[in-house]
Structure 1
Amino acid sequence: MTGEPVRRLDEGALRALVPRVLGGLVRRGEDFDAAEDALQEALLEALRVWPGHPPRDPRAWLTAVATRRLVDARRSEAARRRREETTDPEWRPAATEQGDDTLFLLFCCCHPDLAPTSQVALTLRAVGGLTTGEIADAFYVPAATMAQRISRAKRTLRGRPLDQPGDLAVVLRVLYLIYTTGHAGRVDLAGEAIRLARQLTLATEEPEARGLLALMLLNHARLPARLDPEGRIVTLDRQDRGLWDTREIAEGVRVLQSALARERPGRYQIEAAIAALHDDAATAAETDWPQILAWYDDLVALTAEPVRQDPAAVLGRSVAVGHVLGAAAGLRETDRLRDVIGDRHRWHAVRGHLHELDGDLEAAALAYAEAASRATNVAERDHLVRRAARARARADA
């Protein structure tokens, strides 16, 4: 986009520029909150000016206008009035702003002085471009509460040096949340999360960064088959594997292999290895469940008390146990989680799957129905209702 005239106002492209421009301003040492306010003013100016006078370099134009707003804010009212009409649309950014400043902004949003919830919220707002209302929905809190949380986060960063942004583990966790938020369809952020992960792998040798990129690619490759034409969820075992993106799978496997070659496996690498085994199977029946179980054993071993600290991993392992050692063995594994997550819909859904695998269709129908009653996502609830109905119909037959 840089260096090419804008023929018409593309609000999507304009929105994509926001984190890059904001990151460049913050990199120069501008206050985070003030820079965001100045950029908002620049965006309003762009909506007014660009349709009739498109800039040669949109990013440079936004940076120039936002910079002038910051300068104006620091000077007297008289100085600000003298500069209001002096915006130069051909301004060129400094060398440090020519690169992708989105990644720098991502690390700043994960500053160690911020609480984890604030790191995630600020990243989704500043880097992901979600509205405050959308972020509030993701956290199941009122919009006013989320607005206050984001404002407090920006106030916390005020005056803080941003040369020591948040650690990599936090950045990876936030990136994955951005991916799953986009993956859920609320906002199309999955592609942006993958792009940022690619940038991250160029900036660090940490294998977990590559593991996360591989995990996202291997999961994203199955996206075209996850919903049927009516928008209903299609489970992995029933998906049309001909719809999977084989190029994305191949890239994910290459990235994963480069990470595992460093012999420092972590959570994202192990989860990516599990995803790769699912993607490698030509049919559901050909899934290499023994290898998947072995990887789940490694995943569970990462935590001292996996049942309490990582129940999702133990739950996933229960499914693998059911396919390798029999459904009854898998159900016994889920019993260990009853007191920890027995009130969650996923626990009941897994029980339904294992009962169905065991041939106990009445128990499967009851478990799926219980899972549906506890699900908060409409699409997932409807999917579980259909599975319960299908199991009940088969049991009656």
Structure 2
Amino acid sequence: MDFAYDAKTEELREKLLRFMDEHVYPAEATLERELAEATDPWARTPVVEVLKAEARKQGLWNLFLPGEHGGGLTNLQYAPLAEITGRSPHLAPEALNCAAPDTGNMEVLTMFGTEQQKKQWLQPLLDGEIRSAFCMTEPDVASSDATNISTRIERDGDEYVINGRKWWSSGAMAPNCAIFIVMGKTDPSADRHHQQSQILVPRDTPGITIKRGMHVFGYTDGAHGGHAEIEFTNVRVPAENLIAGEGEGFAIAQARLGPGRIHHCMRLIGMAERALELMCKRANERVAFGKPIAAQGVVQEWIAESRVRIEQARLLVLKTAWLMDTVGNKGAHTEIQSIKISVPAMTEWIIDKAIQAHGAAGVSQDTPLADLWANTRTLRLADGPDEVHRMSLAKRELKKYL
């Protein structure tokens, strides 16, 4: 693979870096103030809408999505751009209409949606007019094994009836969330990978109860549309709301999660870079025992090790993106799992050392570090916990020698 960014990527990088400096970083304090003043912790914040309008005007819009609906970029071209947005994870991704879960939901509708589904739901998502939620995880089963999903989706004439309970439904607390993609079982008697289906459920459908918004290490995560616990009680939707067909839910989830996992890892590298930058500035400015803490050997070791770990992770992410572009997601399965294991752990380690270098300030609201840490630690669970990826990766390696 060629390690140089092509001309299109360089042009977008320069434009995006300017956008971050001129618009995103100055807006971080505004976002914090707006969230603090809002009576609803999940309320839409005006500053995000301002950033979205500016990003769209500058052509920094839907960059994650290949093909005619998006930026037309490959995974390899998108990787350094997603990394940049990761430096301000609560503002930049949504400003560019590149925030989860909308990205994954748009990918699902692009790949599997009917023309009517695309017209009704994909286009408003592409335009940033609405947001969406993905309802897969359940409180009563180990959802790390997606075949455990117990929510029922049962056919009744020209409708499907949905009953079940979900939680950590990402995006569902956003006031402008208009559509849920719900995963559940249509045929419990089928083989374990064909029991599930996915279906489009408008948020205002009778029978849906938002029980509560979930907190992440004490944060509402309102800037991302939050996460919700939801009950579905005899929720009826038209049969044409089913995506792809009965029994296709697991395959759709796998197709959705591959790009989602690498996008998270791309942004995590940006978070790690932001943490390292803050650590270096703090180390040069903070004096303890008569000299800057940057002169302490242990701090120098943290900084050197951080740079090594970031470079290693970035190379593996770029290799994964290149493989996804050249041999497809299935051909890059080993690498996708490898980055999902290694990159959150790398970023968590660096943020932890940056917090330590800041002392008490590191766990306060005066730096983004505590929020970055909570975000990063969560990604060791989201899209599959570390242990599941390790188990699958080990089986694939062992299989070579059977």
Task: Identify whether the pair has TM-score above 0.5, normalized to the shorter chain.
Answer: no
- Greater share of helix residues, 1 or 2? 1
TM-score w.r.t. structure 1 length? 0.26
- Greater share of strand residues, 1 or 2? 2
